[in-house]
Structure 1
Amino acid sequence: MLALATQAGSVLAAPQLCYRGVNLSGAEYGERDGAVNVNYTYPSEETVRYFAGKGMNIIRLPFRWERLQPTLGQPLNGDELQRLKDAVDLIQKHGMAVILDPHNYADYDKTQIGQAPVTDLAFGDFWARLAVEFSNRKGVAFGLMNEPHDIKAPDWLEAANTAIRSIRTVGAHNLILVPGTNWTGAHSWSTDVLGGGANGTVMLGVKDPIDFYAFEFHQYLDADSSGTHPVCDGTENAKRGLSDVTDWLRKNGKRGFLGEFGVAANDTCLDGLKQFIGVMNADSDVWLGWSYWAAGDWWPPEEPLNVQPRNGRDKPQMKVLIEGLGKKTPLPPSCALVKSAK
């Protein structure tokens, strides 16, 4: 949906994306028994204030499942849970929403979900315990899992539905972001990479008792869509992927969120970034928004995609992102991250 023309011939811009923000990396670092602020860290207020001041309104907050729940099926670690809650409080203090992101790639201690002891029920138990802590808190969305891979789509769907059912069973009406398998790439959404069916077919089997979820996609602009190269020789492929999933969302009456994308600070990549944001802005009828990868207090300054400011200076990518934010306006009810009870 690009624009709507009035009878008088003037043009109304398409509705604005609800959420535009950044991933604040750090709490997912290190091994499960690492020490806070030695091996891993949560965002500082200085960093949170910076991105809020730029007009961003959502933070995707990665953390490590094993650290939050050291033993499967058992209570969450109280100290780590408090650190997570403090980070959410800090982000919301500065007027931004939060996506909780267990950044585990569908593994727990290097064992894939669905394989004992990391059963689908264990995954559901984790989400039930976490959902209770943030149940119906305004401005908090639940990202089921970061980038499941090497798991067939039907197997991942079963695990995702188990977690969704657990979240709803404890009474949480927060928005759930559901990824696909194969790194949840937009460019491969309709391709059966692992056998068992493509995400675009299988993930239509998501079952949410209150029908309040969106699909999470990731997409980078290098040739293999990995985000590991400082070039954007895959921009056209990435744009096609984004366009294809936009059509898929619209055809199936679904909504999407771009949880990760990023580019290096060269002219070709910055131009690709601008085009990429433009695609989403033009299709805000199905896109809830995006969160750029990445920033964070410990994010290496030499990392090409990094937008963490250094010495008070914006990174070149940040300037493009700011241009893509649009005018800051109050969020309409359709942007709510908690579904109100009828």
Structure 2
Amino acid sequence: MARYAGRFQGKAWLGRNLRSIALRGIALIGAASLATQPVSAATTCMRGINLAGAEFGKVGDAYGKGYTYPSAETIRYFASKGFTAVRLPFLWERLQPKLYASFDRAEAKRLAATVELVRKAGMVVILDPHNYARYKGDLIGTDNVPQSAFADFWRRLSVRFGTEADIAFGLMNEPHGIAAEDWVSAANSAIAAIRQAGSSSLILVPGTAWTGAHSWTAGDYGTTNAAAMSAIVDPKNNYVFEVHQYLDLDFSGKNDECSRAADAVKALSDVGTWLKQNNRRGLLGEFAVPRQPECQSALVDMVKVVESNPDAWLGWAYWAAGDWWPEDEILNIQPVRTVDKPQMATLLKAMSENASCGR
């Protein structure tokens, strides 16, 4: 999510860490096996949270000063609330400082430790290289970052994490500035590398144009995502499409209002129709509203669109939480001194109203 991550340059700017209560974990069973099949409303669905922090700061910043990973307390807090998945953003360049080279040992250890904390809490992990189809500022598919480098990265990541059913692979956060055909080609190279490494893990495939639901059928860079995504190839046929959707005036998530809520809900419904028509499923990988009372009903509507159509949607992941968010960040649902944010109360209400979303 470009809207916020670039603003964080260090712990001092962010303010103090927030601490939260630790209660119980809830397991998500069989998410990967549901990736490509229409299912009934009684089937397990994914209710996720984006735990930001490892994508903060600049490449080269010291751990604990420029960026962080979510704490065990934060992870357990969201498990206790009934969340079943964590989308875990991190930076490609930190994990792999040089293309085609081994991962940085310290960073790989931090990532692996966090993955294990999430799994021990009973939640699925979605690995999310939060790079916008770029490496050190250069687009995938350019001379500086060939598609083969992207494939190599995913081959290495799948060797480390590709044997566990409760770890899913989000290929890339919000590709943009790249033609849909070029992005599909890059995604296919990564998928092939993952499968050649022996992994059957669930893969989340975003579109270009920030993978917005509102722009899924719009040709921002020529061919639309809706047209181009038919060329995705997965030998295991275990993938879903990942879309993001915000509800403010420009669908960016930057603005402290939700004036385009009706348009956002319709866009999500339209993508759901497209998914059904193409016998695919999707994940709403980012969405959020600010705290105003008038925005809470729209948040419920977004959840309902997803959870009432399990033949189209695997689930959702709210943006965002994490130990270093400032208390006044408009979309943040990290608790303050164990007190839930208004959006959390709304999500819990929506979740309680859909008992058929199996837990």
- The two structures share one fold, judged by TM-score above 0.5: yes
Aligned residue in 1 for 2:66: 39
Question: Is it true that 1:174 corresponds to 2:201 in the alignment?
Answer: yes
The answer as to whether partners of 2:45 and 2:357 remain within 8 angstroms in 1 is no
Shift of 1:280: 1.1
Counterparts of 1:220 and 1:137, CA distance in 2: 31
Structure 1 unpaired stretches of 5+:
1-12, 332-342
Output the amino acid matched with 1:143. G
Greater RCO structure (CA 8 Å; 6+ sep): 2
Shift of 1:329: 7.3
Aligned residue in 1 for 2:130: 103
- Structure 1's 167 and 203: CA in aligned 2 closer, same or farther, altered over 3 A? same
Residue 320 of structure 2: which of 291, 294, 318 is its match?
294
The answer as to whether partners of 1:246 and 1:286 remain within 8 angstroms in 2 is yes
Question: Is it true that 1:232 corresponds to 2:250 in the alignment?
Answer: no
The answer as to whether partners of 1:18 and 1:289 remain within 8 angstroms in 2 is yes
1:215-261 per-residue CA deviation (whole Å, 9 max, x = no partner) reads 00000011211011111110111011101100000000001000000
Counterparts of 1:81 and 1:44, CA distance in 2: 16
- Structure 1's 63 and 278: CA in aligned 2 closer, same or farther, altered over 3 A? same
The answer as to whether partners of 1:15 and 1:285 remain within 8 angstroms in 2 is no
Aligned residue in 2 for 1:267: 293
1:47-96 per-residue CA deviation (whole Å, 9 max, x = no partner) reads 01110110111000000000000000111111111100000000111111
Residue 73 of structure 1: which of 95, 100, 103 is its match?
100
Structure 2 unpaired stretches of 5+:
1-39
Counterparts of 1:16 and 1:242, CA distance in 2: 21
Q: CA RMSD in A?
A: 1.3
Shift of 1:330: 6.0
Residue 238 of structure 2: which of 199, 212, 228 is its match?
212
Residue 170 of structure 2: which of 113, 132, 143 is its match?
143
How many residue pairs get aligned? The number is 318
- SS of 1:22's partner is strand
1:259-278 per-residue CA deviation (whole Å, 9 max, x = no partner) reads 00000000111111011111
Aligned residue in 2 for 1:192: 219
Counterparts of 1:99 and 1:289, CA distance in 2: 12
Counterparts of 1:27 and 1:289, CA distance in 2: 23
Counterparts of 1:303 and 1:86, CA distance in 2: 27
Identity across aligned pairs (percent)?
50
Question: Is it true that 1:277 corresponds to 2:334 in the alignment?
Answer: no
The answer as to whether partners of 1:147 and 1:184 remain within 8 angstroms in 2 is yes
Shift of 1:14: 3.2
Aligned residue in 2 for 1:83: 110
Counterparts of 1:188 and 1:265, CA distance in 2: 25
Shift of 1:286: 1.4
- Structure 1's 248 and 330: CA in aligned 2 closer, same or farther, altered over 3 A? closer
Shift of 1:17: 5.4
Shift of 1:138: 2.1
Aligned residue in 1 for 2:277: 251
Output the amino acid matched with 1:210. K
Residue 322 of structure 1: which of 348, 354, 358 is its match?
348
- SS of 1:125's partner is helix
- SS of 1:67's partner is helix
- SS of 1:82's partner is helix
- Structure 1's 170 and 25: CA in aligned 2 closer, same or farther, altered over 3 A? same
Counterparts of 2:43 and 2:155, CA distance in 1: 33
Counterparts of 2:357 and 2:241, CA distance in 1: 24
Aligned pairs for 1:89-168 within 5 A: 89-168=116-195
TM-score of the aligned structures, taking structure 2 as reference length: 0.87
